[in-house]
Structure 1
Amino acid sequence: MAGQLGFHIQQDRCIGCFTCQITCKDKNDLEVGQLYRRVHEIAGGGYTEVGNNAYQADVYAYWISLGCNHCQEAPCVKNCPTGAMQKRPEDGIVYVDQEKCIGCRYCTWSCPYGAPQYNPKTGKVGKCDFCRDLLAKGEAPACVAACPMRVLDYGPMEELEKKYGGTRQIKGIPDPNLTKPSLLITPHRAAAVVK
């Protein structure tokens, strides 16, 4: 695979089962409270009176599975004082060099997605590294392989754009212009941003 790697989320089919989150936590042997991939529920709406004591429902709920978006303009990399947070030139994967990490947490404060996670036991930060070990063996990232609904996919961004189209902006996540995330989403109808 060549070019910037990214994720695609078929959000309109996500059932919020948390399998991707659990699999990632298990694969990375994370401590309590640490999550490299998180499933967020977003709900809202209400009821509108349409006359004669009749109401129309406008209620919605959807889920978004987010890990590190391996941003093209990653503030965690830019703001890391030791160079521990790095972006691989060959595929754009953002990862933490544990030898250089001093646990200052500048990366955790810089990331609008909350991807870097501080581990108080080690005094260092960890995050999704796109399962580099699995990719090296020709396997899919753990979250992608585990999804029972096949909602998650990965690959070079150019290929994902051709295959799925989609958007980088939905209701409930930061503006993509902040970091240029390597993320495409086929949105749930209530998540779509109308411009």
Structure 2
Amino acid sequence: MGQKGFYYDATFCTGCKACQIACKDKNDLYVGEFFRQVFDFEGGIYPDVWGYSLSVGCNHCDKPKCAENCPTGAIYKRQSDGLVVQDRKKCIGCKMCIWSCPYGRPQYLAKQGKSGKCDGCADLVDQGLNPVCVDTCPLRAIEFGDIEELRKKYGTNADMKGLPTSATTKPNMVIKAKKL
């Protein structure tokens, strides 16, 4: 198995938040806690206005800052498929992963006193299934699979307005950005 990753097509995404809701439901998250989150951006001056939605989960980076800076090793990269996962039992709630991730994806789970993050639905992937965000998207704007196959199919762009540069962490995602 190779490194897994996501493809996101911003030209299809309508910002419906179905992926966000499915993720919250699967992970039993409380209000304000998001492992996948949809952001809406807009700007310009009439008649040159623009807007787009951006769905962001963990990017399962080649160089995950969250794992690199976790003092207990609670966050780590799986050897089998490159998913960046967490052993929440080892988490001490220091928030170092939250502060380290340039994408802001680990979240503090106040009722548990620990952090949590998207793990790419590793339990489903282990069964040969897709992450819930992928299968829930009504417009199929999110795809999951071997990152090299996704790059062959869609290109290598991992940058988009609203995200930090991909050069730092080498995220395993491909983005079809909306033309602004």
TM over 0.5: yes
* SS of corresponding position for 2:108: strand
The Cα RMSD (Å) is 0.9
TM-superposed deviation, 1:13: 1.0
TM-superposed deviation, 1:4: 1.1
- The aligned counterpart of 1:115 is 105
- Does residue 161 (structure 1) correspond to residue 160 (structure 2)? The answer is no
- The aligned counterpart of 1:73 is 63
TM-superposed deviation, 1:180: 0.6
TM-superposed deviation, 1:116: 0.6
**Max Rg structure:** 1
Query: Any gaps of 5 or more consecutive residues in structure 2?
Result: none
Percent of residue pairs identical: 52
Letter in 2 for 1:83: G
Query: Any gaps of 5 or more consecutive residues in structure 1?
Result: 48-56, 191-195
Number of aligned positions between the proteins: 180
Letter in 1 for 2:34: L
- The aligned counterpart of 1:11 is 10
* SS of corresponding position for 2:2: coil
TM-score (norm 2): 0.97
TM-superposed deviation, 1:73: 0.5
Deviations 1:36-60 (A, max 9, x none): 001011111113xxxxxxxxx1100
Letter in 1 for 2:66: C
TM-superposed deviation, 1:166: 4.8
Separation in 2 of the partners of 1:136 and 1:96? 15
Q: Which runs of 4+ in 1 moved over 4 A?
A: none
Q: Residue 166 of structure 1 contacts residue 186 of structure 1 at CA under 8 Å; is this kept in 2? A: no
Query: Which of 158, 164, 167 is the aligned partner of 1:174?
Result: 164
